[in-house]
Structure 1
């Protein structure tokens, strides 16, 4: 068994773990904000979840969100050759994985449209969050 100190530092592994852990933190803080009562109610009842107030959860979510952008950018930069290899076939000089790219763009585009137009299932998430913020906590 080799000693850990003898292993070189891996930028790729660090970027993957930073992006992954900040993503998990964003998921947890986003859920906490989604179920938290609205701002005034949270302050009036002294709402806390895991010893954090709504304002603290929002601050955590914003901070992790900004850092996630950095981590994701670093990850993309380090893995750019892999990404371009997935997108472009060097031998044929054409777009590869067209179905996968198309599917990903269509799904993200549809989610954006559903959220902006306030249509199900995106509207269900908003309604559920509103239920917690306004209905559950009163």
Structure 2
């Protein structure tokens, strides 16, 4: 005699936190790909004249994808911060035995961002090397 298959329990509740994390992660991957393609793509005039495409998209298509995904990323980032505000505050304040919280990690992240910002704005290596590589692709490679 066959045993009846029991109905699965109700589906787990939708997690806005998990959705926000996945959305930011996936948007980051698409932005990284589109940013890389745009960094090595020929300049607009050369791309248009040569009918350049990559993975089926023209340069304006990649630009649109990158811009739109950036807007989605910013929206998802705001949603993520709103959902995880208490976690972020706890990381900064510290909990239990961690009196200083994660201020060292925040200082490290802030210092790295500041360093990259300064090198890019001052056109110093390694930021200048990346700009030179991008220029080489746009001028010489294509």
TM-score of the alignment, normalized to the shorter chain, above 0.5? yes
RMSD of aligned alpha carbons: 2.0
Question: Which contiguous aligned blocks of 4+ residues in structure 1 show a shift greater than 4 angstroms?
Answer: 2-5
Per-residue CA shift, 1:26-83, capped at 9, x if unaligned?
0000001001000000001110000000010000000000110001111111111111
Bigger CA drift: 83-92 or 95-104?
83-92
Corresponding position of 2:121: 116
Q: Which residue of 1 aligns with 2:3?
A: none
* TM-score (norm. length: structure 2): 0.88
Does residue 68 (structure 1) correspond to residue 76 (structure 2)? The answer is no
Q: Rg bigger for which structure?
A: 2
Q: Which runs of 5+ in 2 are unaligned?
A: 1-6
Alignment of 1:79-94 (within 5 A): 79-89=84-94
- Label 1:26 to 1:100 Cα distance change in 2 as closer, same or farther (>3 A): same
- Determine if the alignment matches structure 1 residue 100 to structure 2 residue 112: no
> Aligned pair 1:51/2:25, yes or no?
no
1:37 aligns with 2:42: yes
Q: CA deviation at 1:98?
A: 2.3
- Aligned CA distance change for structure 1 residues 79 and 54 (closer, same or farther; 3 Å): same
Find the counterpart in structure 1 of residue 12 from structure 2.
7
Structure 1 alignment gaps of length 5 or more: none
Q: Which has the higher contact order (CA 8 A, sep 6+)?
A: 1
Query: Does structure 1 residue 126 correspond to structure 2 residue 131?
Result: yes
- Structure with bigger helix share is 1
Inter-partner Cα distance in structure 2 for 1:107 and 1:42: 35
Residue 89 of structure 1 deviates from its aligned partner by 2.6
Matched-pair contact (CA < 8 Å) for 2:94–2:102: no
